[in-house]
């Protein structure tokens, strides 16, 4: 049994099985079945209730169990939970699986072009922290987690080596 949340609002319980080109199972306790055709790794065609659906996988994050699908040109953001995720949530242990990141190291040797944060700044996951030039290209190093900048170990204009400590959270 899986729980799917679409666009952060609609929740569905499903237990679908795919057998060759057919799918069948339940969706919110209602029996459903249809035809399923895999075109390539990111495109599918579905026939359900005599209607045709073109499905494109726009974005897939297997670690977070999220995906963005485009179904007949309409985007849907989906979040998937299996029975183990539900069990961990019910036990209050669902946040233990998150990986705690305490530092950022240089992914490659290069020159620090800009440091966009200072010690004590509160950052969100995905915020750009440092601009690093490597092989004549500017690379934005982004925060892998929400947190507070504890220490900045580099300064603008200084060369860094691979795996050198840049920032501590």
Q: Quick one: pLDDT band at residue 156, thresholds 50, 70, 90?
A: very high
For the stretch 57-96, pLDDT in tens is 999 988 788 999 999 999 999 988 887 877 776 776 665 5
Q: What is the mean pLDDT of the chain?
A: 88
Taking the domains of the chain in order of start, what are their residue ranges?
Answer: 2-90, 103-168
Task: Report the SS3 class of residue 60.
Answer: strand
Q: What is the pLDDT of residue 67?
A: 93
CA 93-4-32 angle, to 5 degrees, is 140
- Cα separation, 131 vs 114, whole angstroms: 5
For the entire predicted model, the pTM comes to 0.53
Answer yes or no: CATH 2.40.50.100 is held by domain 103-168: yes
| pLDDT for 4 beyond 60 | yes
Question: In whole angstroms, what separates CA 38 from the centre of its chain?
Answer: 23
pLDDT, tens digit (0-9, with 9 covering 90-100), for 89-117: 677 666 555 556 788 999 989 999 999 99
Answer yes or no: are the C-beta atoms of 130 and 115 closer than 8 Å: yes
Non-local (6+) Cβ contacts of 154 within 8 A are 112, 115, 130, 160, 164, 166, 167
């Amino acid at each position: 049994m899986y729980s799917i949340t679409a666009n952060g609002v609609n929740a569905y319980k499903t237990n679908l099985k795919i057998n060759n080109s057919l799918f069948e199972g339940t969706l919110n306790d209602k029996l459903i079945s249809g035809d399923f055709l895999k075109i390539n790794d990111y495109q599918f065609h579905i026939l359900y209730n005599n209607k045709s659906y073109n499905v494109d996988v726009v974005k897939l994050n297997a670690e977070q169990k999220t995906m963005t699908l485009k179904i007949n040109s309409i985007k849907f953001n989906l979040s998937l939970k299996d029975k183990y995720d539900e069990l961990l949530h019910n036990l209050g242990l669902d946040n233990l699986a998150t990986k705690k990141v305490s530092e950022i190291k240089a992914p490659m040797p290069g020159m620090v072009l800009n440091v966009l944060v200072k010690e004590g700044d509160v950052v969100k996951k995905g915020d750009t922290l440092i601009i690093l030039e490597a092989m004549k290209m500017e690379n934005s190093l982004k925060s892998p987690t929400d947190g507070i900048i504890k220490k900045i170990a580099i300064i603008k204009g200084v060369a860094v080596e691979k795996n050198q400590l840049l920032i501590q959270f």
